[in-house]
Amino acid sequence: MRPGSLGETAPREGYLEVQSGKLYYRELGSGQPLIVLHGGPDFDHQYMLPEMDRLASDFRLIYYDQRGRGKSANAVLPEDVSLGSEVSDVEAIRQELGREAVIILGHSWGALLALEYATRHAGYVSHLILMNTAPVSRGDFLWLQQERRRKAAEDLAAMRALSATAQYAAGDIAIEAEYYRRHFRTALSDPEKLERVIRRLRSGWTPEGVRKARAIEQRLYDETWFTSSYDLLPKLYSLRVPTLVLHGEEDLIPVDCAIHIAEAVGGARLEVLPACGHFAFLDCPDGIHNDIVRFCASEQA
């Protein structure tokens, strides 16, 4: 990776070799490095573009596809991926930047990964931004499931029916799109924005890539939400990193999940964004951009 120069707008792309694979990265802009961790965990970074690129006007923005997903899928087996390898990959990106401390921004599942990294490498995180954060404890995951059953029973039934088909098992892209259309239907009230996200989720993917990403997702879930003892919240009480928690008022993930994180991290700022769902960078791009820039300018690690 090489630092960008002022005024440079073309993304810089490449691969970083890590154990058992290569990580595809994309960077844009100049200034303080900001590493973006995408959600899923069976997606890649494409669903965040181009809206999140706006941050490149103020930061050196670095995206990467997490190991085994998107353009980082080649030569990676699902068993090569674990929560530990995910954290190690974030650290590999940071080391490649040649900086002692960087800003980490995680969206959805990426926020859980950001916190897992920060609890192990706090000295290398200057600021932590958690956008539409996923639950970070088994208890909050069960709360999310309960709320989904209460508010989206019809969508859950449709998703179960789709996931039982042979086409879904094969990784059919069209069936995947319909599955996630139902999954995220309540996450974006604007149908056009919903379709925008759906088109991006599997852009450039193959059925084989989809199947691999699902297997990786299952492994990561087994280490976290599907383990009865999983609870990251107690570790957050000793985390001393300036933290901004941005959550949509209409997010499919209950606001309580974000509140629990903000209460655990000393001095964390919580902002609940009105009229925003799970993809806040689409619903309220101005607010997201301004909040992040102000936060990073005002908070000193």
CB neighbour burial string for 63-90, b if at least 16 within 10 angstroms, e if fewer = bbbbbbbbbbbeebebebbbbebbbbbb
CATH architecture entry for 12-298:
3-Layer(aba) Sandwich (3.40)
Lowest mean pLDDT among 7-16, 41-50, 152-161: 7-16
Q: Amino acid identity of 107?
A: H
Q: Where are the domains of the chain?
A: 12-298
**Mean pLDDT across the stretch 38-60?**
96
- Give pLDDT, residue 300: 54
**Mean pLDDT across the stretch 249-269?**
95
**Mean pLDDT across the stretch 109-118?**
98
Cα(95)–Cα(193) distance, rounded to whole angstroms?
36
In DSSP notation, 97-151 reads HT-S-EEEEEETHHHHHHHHHHHH-GGGEEEEEEESPPP-BHHHHHHHHHHHHHH
- Give pLDDT, residue 100: 85
The predicted model scores a pTM of: 0.94
- Give pLDDT, residue 54: 95
